[in-house]
Amino acid sequence: MQVTVIGSGYVGTTLAACLADLGHDVTNVDIDEEIVAAIESGVAPIHEAGLDELVAEHGGERLRATTDYDVATRANVVFIALPTPTDAEGRIDTSIITAGAEQLGAALAESEERPLVVVKSTVVPGTTENELIPALERGSGSTVGEAFDVAVNPEFLREGTAVSDFLHPDKVVFGAQHARAYETLNELYAPLFERTDTAVVRTGIREAEMIKYANNAFLASKISLINELGNICKEFGVDAYEVADAIGLDDRIGPQFLRSGVGWGGSCFPKDVAALIAAARDAGYDPELLDAVVGVNDRQPERLLSILDDHVDVNGERVAVLGLAFKSGTDDIRSSRAIPTIEGLLERGATVVGYDPVATENMRAEFPDIEYASSAADALSGATAAVVVTDWDEFAALDEEFDAMARPVVVDGRRIVEPRAGIEYEGLTW
Ligand SMILES: NC(=O)c1ccc[n+]([C@@H]2O[C@H](COP(=O)([O-])OP(=O)(O)OC[C@H]3O[C@@H](n4cnc5c(N)ncnc54)[C@H](O)[C@@H]3O)[C@@H](O)[C@H]2O)c1
Ligand SMILES: O=c1ccn([C@@H]2O[C@H](COP(=O)(O)OP(=O)(O)O[C@H]3O[C@H](CO)[C@@H](O)[C@H](O)[C@H]3O)[C@@H](O)[C@H]2O)c(=O)[nH]1
């Protein structure tokens, strides 16, 4: 099929490269000329395992890129994968996606066929019907069902494993109003369904929008719950990881997302939970549990630092922050727990030295005045304490590097460092 993907960030590039790999002719549209040039020359514009290979294989051939929305006139399916950030009050900011939909509508006015416009971005229930369809109609001067059809197909990939998640999903969700839209999506995903045993959820547009938020709210809540239980475990001298392993054996709970520690960050959980809370409140419902989920998450970095305070007064001392990315496997620092951790250390008068295998440059833009080390060993050398914020595998192998610390206090927010004789080790929830 002929596919256009509007927006070529984490989701749009992964989606386009994977669809090209499944045999479709795909064109990414982005306002960023560097991204367009990279894809056209077969280079992935973002770091994702397996993406380089796909873009190298299909870029410039079955995978193209352009800044011109008019390419959508040739498409059977047009995905919208534009950003949906939050505004100052936590509400979803639909200005970018609405403007993009209107521009797409104008291009679709010239379409010979009736393409299916598929909302891939994460949008709160009602957004497609109340904002995106009207924007497409304004742009095209036509109505939904006449010049184009609309569906919602939320994305569940994780950063760091985006390609593998896309090609081996637990489920795909098709939200639509008419059989024709389900059939088109089915045809598009058919090569993937032939390879994998994927659950397909056929549902309405609002339901599909809500499933995405419910998914993320549930996962964020699961982590905040295990963090709350972990904090309680700590009070009783109980190892929260032993408890998590045991409760995870219950099929109704499951073993994933039970790693307690310094909390959740990233480009999705904080933004999506905030948007769901704001949308619920606007609709007249007070989401107390989700408020608490955010509250627990916001407090974990300060708990990490208060454990550090019990060991050492860091005022005037060098403190290493191991890990700056919001999780391992990515250079993304958006809402990383390292940010409040560094802020708390600076408030205490510490001299902060950060280390991350890939996220240093991104954190430097956020905190230009702290020191950055080129290895964990350099960060630890001469430090009075270290706090561990990201679960990079290499931190598990640290050993004699701790001997170079002025005082080997290690407070671990991710259960990744191996405790050993000679270090003053304490975990956040164990
Ligand atoms: N990142 C994830 O892991 C993830 C996973 C699932 C869903 N989502 C959702 O997918 C959507 C996209 O997220 P993302 O992380 O890919 O965003 P992103 O910021 O990585 O990428 C967005 C891209 O859109 C481009 N863009 C901005 N305005 C444009 C315009 N008017 N026309 C064309 N291109 C434009 C930007 O240059 C950028 O390349 C969001 O709604 C997000 O919540 C993200
Ligand atoms: O047991 C756990 C698991 C995760 N985390 C933290 O949770 C955050 C999010 O991790 P993860 O879900 O792996 O990364 P994302 O790439 O943000 O993916 C989430 O957000 C995406 C965007 O909406 C969704 O598509 C994915 O399904 C959803 O997992 C990170 O800070 C992790 O360190 C924990 O603290 N403990």
38 and 105 both lie in a single domain: yes
Same domain, yes or no: 302 and 385: yes
Choose the final residue of a domain: 177, 203, 229.
Answer: 203
Strand bridging mode 63-66 / 77-80: unpaired
Q: Atom 26 in ligand 1: which residue has the minimum CA distance?
A: 7
In a domain, 306, yes or no: yes
CB of 266 within 6 A of ligand 2: the answer is yes
Task: Write the DSSP symbol of residue 72.
Answer: G
Residues in binding site for NAD(+) = 30, 84, 122, 159, 271, 334
Q: Which protein residue's CA is at the shortest distance from atom 9 of ligand 2?
A: 264
**Residues 394, 409: Cα–Cα separation, whole Å:** 18
- pLDDT given at position 149: 97
Both 89 and 174 in one domain: the answer is yes
pLDDT at 253 over 90: yes
- So what's the ipTM on this one? 0.98
Name the domain boundary from 203, 229, 258: 203
Model confidence at 222: pLDDT above 90: yes
- Helix ranges restricted to H, 124-268: 127, 133-140, 162-167, 179-195, 205-235, 240-247
Q: Based on the domain organization, do 197 and 136 belong to the same domain?
A: yes
Contact 244/231 with Cβ under 8 angstroms? no
Question: What's the whole-number average pLDDT of the chain?
Answer: 97
In a shared domain, residues 180 and 326: no
Q: Which domain holds residue 273?
A: 239-429
- Residue after which a domain boundary falls, among 203, 226, 256: 203
CB-ligand 1 contact for 332 (6 Å cutoff): no
Does 104 map to a domain?
yes
**Count of structural domains within the chain:** 2
- Ligand 2, atom 4: nearest CA belongs to which residue? 257
pLDDT for res 85: 97
- Is the CB of residue 209 below 6 angstroms from any atom belonging to ligand 1? no
Q: In DSSP terms, which residues pair with 410 in a beta bridge?
A: 386, 425
Residues with a known catalytic role: 268
Of all residues in the chain, the percent with pLDDT exceeding 90 is 97
Report whether pLDDT(113) > 90.
no
Q: Give exposure, 344-372, as e/b (b: 16+ Cβ within 10 Å).
A: bbeebebbbbbbbbebbebbeeebeebeb
Q: For residue 165, give the ligand 2 atom closest to its CA.
A: 27
347-to-307, 337, 355, 366, 397 alpha-carbon distances in Å = 16, 16, 19, 16, 31
Q: Give me the pLDDT at residue 110, please.
A: 87
Ligand 1 centre to CA of 56 (Å) is 21
Find the CATH number of the domain harbouring 111: 3.40.50.720
C-alpha 185/C-alpha 249 separation (Å) is 36
Residue nearest to atom 25 of ligand 1 (CA): 7
On whether both 70 and 140 belong to a single domain, the answer is: yes
Pairwise CA distance, residues 31 & 48, whole Å: 21
Residues 188 and 262 in one domain: no
The per-residue pLDDT for range 40-80, each reduced to its tens digit, is: 999 999 889 999 999 999 999 999 999 999 999 999 999 99
Residue 267 and residue 183 share a domain = no
Instruction: Say if 155 falls within a structural domain.
Output: yes
Tell whether 217 is covered by a domain.
no
Q: Per residue in 286-342, pLDDT tens?
A: 999 999 999 999 999 999 999 999 999 999 999 999 999 999 998 899 999 999 999
Residue 233 lies in a domain: no
pTM of the prediction? 0.97
Residue 117, C-beta contacts closer than 8 angstroms, at least 6 positions apart: 78, 80, 101, 104, 108, 136, 148, 149, 150, 151
What pLDDT score does 229 carry? 98
Which of 119-123, 345-349, 417-421 has the least mean pLDDT?
417-421
Residue 52 lies in a domain: yes
pLDDT of residue 112: 82
CB 217 less than 6 A from any atom of ligand 2: no
Same domain, 358 and 314: yes
Do 12 and 66 share a structural domain? yes
Tens of pLDDT, residue by residue over 350-381, are 999 999 999 999 999 999 999 999 999 999 99
- Distances, alpha carbon 89 to alpha carbons 276, 278, 282, in Å: 12, 8, 11
Q: Is residue 215 part of a domain?
A: no
| Residues 153 and 264 grouped into a single domain | no
Shared-domain flag, residues 265 and 173? no
Q: Of the residues 269, 299, 428, which should be mutated to test ligand 2's pocket, given the most ligand atoms within 8 Å of the CB?
A: 269
- Starting from the CA of residue 158, give the closest ligand: 2
